[in-house]
Amino acid sequence: KEKHKILHRLLQNSS
Amino acid sequence: TLLLGAEPEKVCAMPDPALPDSDIKALTTLCDLADRELVLNISWAKHIPGFSSLSLSDQMSLLQSAWMEILVLRVAFRSLPCDDRLLFADDYIMDAEQAKCAGLLELHTAILQLVRRYRCMSLEREEFVTLKAIALANSDSMHIEDVEAVQGLQDALHEALLDYECVHHSEDPRRAGKLIMTLPLLRQTSAKAVRHFCSIKQDGRVPMHKLFLELLEANI
């Protein structure tokens, strides 16, 4: 899961 | 109502006018479109009631399993008014001949089978948005940590579909079941699409953006 940085970042972003 | 409000805006394909028409251009256009839609689909997921209450890890697992089903279902719904053509975007509609040129005929045929199934039922927007959320919650990821929480999300969405059908389609008490029974074909079609784009990735001739690549890799 560490590899999925973009998905992780997009989910953490508000909105 | 919340699901209808969460629906993402339309996306334009904007094929690069500087590139000559070719299979590479078509695939580049589709991969770019998919990447931009994925960004919207991730923020869409966050608006599904209950999704953001799941752990970040479970949110990721569901999206890693269902992202292509969500893309395929969106294309299928958009293509309902089209005859044997797939509306990838308002400015990117593909018939069988164009799909063949891009090496996508098998996938085109498979998605059209899904379109026909929904057309026969006159799938409504309300049903489409609910079914899409169900596909996400029901993605059968093997990495779910809180199975009960995911089951709770499935139950809530299932209940929403049953409520909608009870009010709007009381003439057909099996309609909700019929809709759920389209999900295996969606899963099958999406798996076909993932396999196809994985082999395109292996070829290395089509540029792909990072999010699309990241999710393709999650499915290998």
Q: Chain A closest CA to B42's CA: distance in Å?
A: 7
Backbone angles phi, psi at B111, to 5 degrees: -65, -35
Distance CA A14, CA A10 (A): 8
From the list A4, A11, A13, which residue is nearest B214 (CB)? A4
Query: What are B94's strand-pairing partners?
Result: B86
* A8:B56 CB<8 A: yes
* B57:A15 CB<8 A: no
Integer CA distances (angstroms), A15 to B3, B58, B136, B162, in order: 15, 19, 19, 29
Q: How big is the CA angle at A11 (ends A6 and A14), to the nearest 5 degrees?
A: 120
Q: Report the pLDDT averaged over residues B51-62.
A: 98
* B60:A15 CB<8 A: no
Distance CA B183, CA B114 (A): 10
* B56:A12 CB<8 A: yes
From the list A1, A5, A11, which residue is nearest B42 (CB)? A11
Examine the pLDDT at A2 and tell me if it is beyond 80: no
Which secondary structure element, helix H or strand E, spans residue B29, and what is its range? helix B23-46
pLDDT score at B52? 97
pLDDT score at B84? 97
Which residues does B contribute to its contact with A (CB < 8 Å)?
39, 42-43, 46, 56-57, 59-60, 63-64, 143, 210-211, 214-215, 217-218
Examine the pLDDT at B93 and tell me if it is beyond 80: yes
Distance CA A7, CA B39 (A): 9
* B218:A8 CB<8 A: no
CB of A11 less than 8 A from some CB of B? yes
Examine the pLDDT at A14 and tell me if it is beyond 70: no
* A3:B214 CB<8 A: yes
Task: State the complex-level ipTM.
Answer: 0.90
Examine the pLDDT at B180 and tell me if it is beyond 90: yes
Within 8 A of B214 by CB-CB distance, chain A residues are 3-7
Examine the pLDDT at B41 and tell me if it is beyond 80: yes
Q: Is B49 exposed, middle or buried (0-12, 13-18, 19+ CB in 10 A)?
A: middle
Rg of chain A taking only CA atoms, in angstroms: 8
Examine the pLDDT at A3 and tell me if it is beyond 90: no
Q: Chain B closest CA to A4's CA: distance in Å?
A: 6
